[in-house]
Structure 1
Amino acid sequence: MAVIALLSDWIKSQKIKGPQMKDAPTFYRSLEEALDLRRADHSMFTNHKSAWKLGTSIDFCSNDMLSLGTSGEIRRTFLDELTANPNFAMYSGGSRLMDGNYDYIEGVEAEIAAFHGAETALIVGSGYEANTAIYGAVPRPGDAIVYDELVHASTHDGMTHSLAQCRIQFRHNDVDALRDAISSVLDSQPMIVDGSRSILISVESVYSMDGDICPLLEMLEVAKEMCPLGNAVFIVDEAHATGILGPKGAGLVSQLGVEKDIAIRLHTCGKALASTGGNSNLSSGIAAILGSATVRSVIMNFARYVIYTTAPSFPTVAGIRAAYSMMITGNTQKYQDNLQHVVRHFFKSIESNKHWSKASEMGILSIPVIEDWAERDFNAHIVPLKTRQRYNWWLVFHLQLASISAFPIDYPTVPRGQSRIRLMFHAANTEEQVETLASAICSWAAEMIEIEEGAEGAKKMPKAAHQVYALMAANA
């Protein structure tokens, strides 16, 4: 069974190795001891092939949210793009500032900018690299960065290279906390008060681990109120909104019609658009930075990544154009709509399960974004599924053995004590698959209710965990 083989490989990868390396060279022993800290929490990252790719499990984990990859839609459009440009080069020839610029990439950037209602777009190698470029190049000495506490790891890495020494975080999606953070900056930075320096406010439209939406309109109002000179500007990471939210998938900013109020936007192509890039949480595939001509010039002159990296080649950019052409023509709208349908069907299915209410009341199951789902116009494709921290892996084992591909998100990707299973829904998921997922979650919860209530004859551990721990013992 593919799932058993996957779990067996994972179990082997989590074995502590340091104690067996007493006679090994110090260099390698030290590295294994560092990895042992991850293994001790069953949180060491390893390469694996998800069972859904083998056709033996249902995909509730990948980033192919519009199912353009699995359906073959993006491949067909990409091949059409190559056919229309038969003399394309396989290489770009250098960085964008040297020999790596060419007409095709400039044309695609212009199309992307027009689609999103931006002045310019700059294609870069990945969403991660885009954020490091933005925050490493744009803030000037004396500027301040105010950021949501849950912004992506790439934003944090970019800020470490920033010239802005004043950086203040605020509570996630909390408008009052943003107000307090801006007030703190104004109290300590007279050059921002007099308008000679700026506050850069960093948020995401859809948050990758929590699946909730930024209250952007309210935040814009606060910024305008507190900085009437107009020197509080927003940087919005739309990585998980691209293709999913807004008119034809143009994103939250376009949905709200505030394109002119946002200084910089980041859109990635390796998630919903499936054009390039992988499913890793730390890599977002090829990306486009949207902003003014001035912002583009600053990034090209001061972002070391852009200056010293070879430009994307024609085949890579053709993949982006294929994805954007599908959005521009409205060909992705049906996938956008169906994705909303399956997410809503999941919420309906799990809430109607006879075990949901009790499991929720007891704290055994929690889905923070399920509240008021029926009243919302938009429900994100990312649904965090939480349980007691000590149960998280037990629920993972149960889902895996039920032929459902869903994986835990642990520290350091999320804060300690905030582990969860991140469910990712796709346009190609069916109602039956969604019902299977809801049923599997609640059947596990029913086991846990019995265990916690201490019913006579009840086991101390759910069935799936028994199976996996027995497998661990056999591989010890």
Structure 2
Amino acid sequence: MSESLAKKLAAALASREERNIRRRLPDPALSLSPSTPGSISDLTTAPAISPTPRPPHAAPVDFSSNDYLSLSTSPHLRARVLSALNTSPSILGSGGSRLLVYNHAHAALEARLARTFRSPAALLFNSGFDANAGFFACVPQTGDALLHDEAIHASVHDGARASRIAPRMLRPFAHNDIGALRAALRALWGECAALREGRSVVFVAVESVYSMDGTVAPLRAILDGMDEVFPAGNVHLVVDEAHATGLYGPGGRGMVALLGLEDRVLARLHTFGKALAALGAVLLTNTLIRDYLLNYARPLIYTTSLNNAAIIAASCSFDLLEDGTAERLAAQVLEHSTYLQERLRASLAASSIPAHVLALPARLQQQHQQPSMAQPLTPIIPLLTPRARALSAHLLAHGLNARPISWPTVPKGMDRVRVCLHAGNTRAEIDALINASIAWAAGIAQDERTWPEGDRTQIEEGVGGMGSSGCNLLESKL
């Protein structure tokens, strides 16, 4: 490597180190083992709310991963996958790109998912990132526009930058703000004759569940607003369901299915690597777009496809969605979410913890305007604090792994410890998380005079308006 390049790269990393935002891989010692509390083993060997003593030197309890249903430690899923692998004639490799090698397992899974999700067509991708980047890079045409929630995933930004969309036609709107979306749509209507006349299209990109905020998109209101401004129908919604897959809707089919909106959404993305404990993603859309992606989506065309073992594992995970296992586990997760929010809210109030020390976001304290959402919204609970790294370290010292999140992953001034709940967590573990967080916050509150005024101002402003300030457009989320 040249000295010039090395200096520039090192300087960039040093700058992040100085600002306390340099990323590093988690310590391997934090990984879960099947016997560790927080795994699904607890659900299959003891009552779900029974405390499980942590063995000495055990890995910390998982409050960080996206393994919402705890399927990664499910003995039942493990046995099912191993049995399927043992009886499959081919498990190693895929042979190359989907366009070079016909793989029956891939085609069979796509056909199954199209039926399961009641979609005209399905197309597998190696990851949700690849699917988003591939779709938004090639499907929008010259003259089209893209409106996206300001908290949208970084993969949408990457795809849009590679697309034919003119920069001035690529616009964010305030997080989950229907008024802001309508205003952005009206602005496009007024500015662009091709859109008014139906010769061009507006794409609207949202996530059904947002992974950093724990918020849920008001999908029906979004669609109604789109139809109101563009009654001719040349506006299309694309929904990323990565953090809703397995958790919501009949058979874990996501928020779009829960609300019965399949016919009003152009494309849905479901990923296999979070609640399903597998690998890969599927884009659900119509047959024309599927064929177009096969011809133009570079992340699909110019890469080796998922190996057969990954396809088998994903198929086994979908078996658990179809037999009702996932719905039972999802109910457990959402019960945990209710318990954590209610207990933490009460504990913060009883301990008189100032909001600028530790707080729940206001959005999680409000009832979401979706009548069919009778359960708690999400398993993702942000603990807002400008000292997220310190709180995370304190929790880790108490055997609890919840990771700090700061800018540029979230907006400046909105640092938080991101708590992810899982089916395998116990009430005792959740109580330990609450108690450790309150104890830390109480200690900080006693010494408030050491806090910079800017820290207090930023968090006090942010707690009431979480998401309104927007994420960095180029690096919005993990």
Equivalence for 1:110? 111
Equivalence for 1:81? 84
- How far does the alpha carbon of each residue in 1:328-351 deviate from its partner, in whole angstroms, 9 at most, with x for none? 121212211110111111112212
- How far does the alpha carbon of each residue in 1:184-240 deviate from its partner, in whole angstroms, 9 at most, with x for none? 111121111111111100000000110100001001111111111111110000000
Equivalence for 1:252? 255
Task: Tell me the distance in 2 between the aligned counterparts of 1:226 and 1:319.
Answer: 43
Helix, strand or coil at the partner of 2:232? coil
Equivalent residue pairs, number: 418
Per-residue deviation at 1:91? 2.4
- 1:352 paired residue among 323, 328, 346: 346
Would you say 1:236 and 2:239 are equivalent positions?
yes
- How far does the alpha carbon of each residue in 1:31-59 deviate from its partner, in whole angstroms, 9 at most, with x for none? 21111011112322222225353733111
Cα pair 2:406 2:412 within 8 Å, conserved = yes
- 2:446 paired residue among 431, 447, 450: 450
Equivalence for 2:427? 431
Per-residue deviation at 1:180? 0.6
Equivalence for 2:122? 121
- How far does the alpha carbon of each residue in 1:393-428 deviate from its partner, in whole angstroms, 9 at most, with x for none? 222222121211011111221122222111111000
Percent identity at matched positions? 32
Equivalence for 1:414? 410
Cα pair 1:275 1:322 within 8 Å, conserved = no
- 1:224 paired residue among 220, 223, 227: 227
Per-residue deviation at 1:143? 0.9
Cα pair 1:170 1:178 within 8 Å, conserved = yes
Would you say 1:53 and 2:32 are equivalent positions?
yes
Equivalence for 1:383? 381
Q: How does 1:36-435 map to 2 (within 5 A)?
A: 36-47=14-25, 48-51=27-30, 53=32, 55-85=58-88, 87-99=89-101, 101-165=102-166, 166-276=169-279, 286-353=280-347, 358-361=352-355, 364-372=358-366, 377-387=375-385, 389=386, 391-435=387-431
Helix, strand or coil at the partner of 1:95? coil
Aligned partner letter, 1:241: A
Helix, strand or coil at the partner of 1:359? coil
- Unaligned runs of 5+ residues in structure 2 are 34-57, 451-478
Task: Tell me the distance in 2 between the aligned counterparts of 1:378 and 1:50.
Answer: 32
Aligned partner letter, 1:263: L
Q: Which moved more, 1:179-188 or 1:347-356?
A: 347-356
Q: Which moved more, 1:146-155 or 1:111-120?
A: 111-120
Aligned partner letter, 1:324: F
The 3 A distance-change label for structure 1 pair 64 and 275 is same
Per-residue deviation at 1:453? 7.0
Task: Tell me the distance in 2 between the aligned counterparts of 1:414 and 1:371.
Answer: 20
Q: TM-score, normalised by structure 2?
A: 0.84
Q: Which moved more, 1:243-252 or 1:343-352?
A: 343-352
Aligned partner letter, 1:299: L
The 3 A distance-change label for structure 1 pair 305 and 35 is same
Cα pair 1:355 1:446 within 8 Å, conserved = no
Helix, strand or coil at the partner of 1:332? helix
Cα pair 2:392 2:417 within 8 Å, conserved = yes
